[in-house]
Amino acid sequence: MNEVKRIDFRDQIARNKRKSFFLMFAVFLVIVVLGYVISKAYEPGLFFIIMIISIIGSISYLLISYYNSDKIALFSVGAKEAKRGEYKQFYDIVEGLTIASGLPMPKLYIMPSRQINAFASGRDPKHSVICVTEGALERLDKKELEGVLAHELGHVESYDIRYMTLIAVMVGIISIISEIFLRSLWFKSGDNNDNKGSIFMIIGIILAILAPIFVFFIQMAISRKREFTADASAVKFTRYPDGLISALKKIGQENQPEKKINKAVAPLFFANPFKEIGSTHPPIQKRVEALERM
């Protein structure tokens, strides 16, 4: 039983690494194709220059987001580093959990929000960060906070953090790029009247609309199962499902939707920062039921 579980777990890590690689490759292709379409739609004469720029640009973009995805995610929610002297309990709990899980100590961050929430990020366990909201530190008791942080360490251990942060950051940028492209079209009407140009323009518009939707669906499909797995890891570390259950119930009762959080980073969080419908997380009730069965 336990052996089976452990092998599954190693599979999960391998799967996350593989998916991260394919995601980066797919994003590379999407950017190059977008570059191709945009150059055909606007300036066919500059085709080669635009293609070279988009290839170099996409590679450097991938490298930058791979090594800095955690910083981008932290920056986008306005998180700041937690000082050891100020947040002793936070440090104590995570230190205990790293001993229980055999993981290296992540960097700890605090984000200003009244919500009870948390997320983990980074490219591997050695370069991981865990960020909690001020609300979580104030309103959860020690056992509940321990459950939430163990859940986040579960994401760290399984390399979910790499894949999820990459998706969040890359989706964020893609949606911004296509938004810019769409907006600029409004000011460009009438310049390009030949048929060939307008066909490419239509493709361009379609791509620009489809890209974020497409990635949004990938995003939804991936993170729901992960939450259950991370809940299970949390129980493996703490041997105490009740803490996590009570934290989830508190979130279900008290959390108000948070408007300040960017949609792209929502899947990273412990609980969905917005509303339940069309959400990136399984319903809290389902998670509690799964935990109570453990």
Partner 1 sequence: MVLIAWIGLGIVGLVAGAFLFYFNRFAVLGNRIDNSLSQIDVQLKRRADLIPNLIETVKGYTKHENAAIKAVTEARKALVSAKGIEGKVKADKGLESALKTIFALAENYPDLKANTNFLELQRELATTEDKVAYSRQYYNDSILAYNDLCKTFPGTFFAGVYHKKAREYLNLQMTESDRKKVDVKF
Please report whether residue 95 would count as binding partner 1 according to CB under 8 A. Answer: yes
The helix (H) or strand (E) run that includes residue 120 is strand 118-122
Q: Is 258:273 a contact under the CB 8 Å cutoff?
A: yes
**132 DSSP β-pair partners:** 110, 118
| Residue 227 appears among annotated catalytic residues | no
Identity of the residue, 58 or 101, whose beta carbon is nearer to partner 1 in the bound complex: 101
Please report whether residue 14 would count as binding partner 1 according to CB under 8 A. Answer: no
Residue with tokens 């360490």: 153
Identity of the residue, 45 or 102, whose beta carbon is nearer to partner 1 in the bound complex: 102
Kindly state the smallest distance separating residue 92's Cβ from partner 1, in Å. Answer: 4
Kindly state the smallest distance separating residue 130's Cβ from partner 1, in Å. Answer: 17
Tokens of 229: 């797995």
Longest CA–CA span in the chain (Å) reads: 68
Q: Please, which residues have CB within 8 angstroms of residue 250's CB and are 6 or more apart in sequence?
A: 116, 139, 140, 144
Q: Is 200:41 a contact under the CB 8 Å cutoff?
A: yes
Of residues 234-253, which lie at the interface with partner 1 (CB under 8 A)? 239
Please report whether residue 102 would count as binding partner 1 according to CB under 8 A. Answer: yes
Catalytic residue among 146, 152, 227, 258: 152
Please report whether residue 84 would count as binding partner 1 according to CB under 8 A. Answer: no
Kindly state the smallest distance separating residue 50's Cβ from partner 1, in Å. Answer: 47
- For the chain, the C-alpha Rg in angstroms (whole number) is 21
Which stretch, 50-58, 88-96, 272-280, 285-293, contacts partner 1 (CB under 8 A)? 88-96
Binding site for partner 1 (CB under 8 A): 2-3, 6, 88, 92, 95-97, 99-102, 239
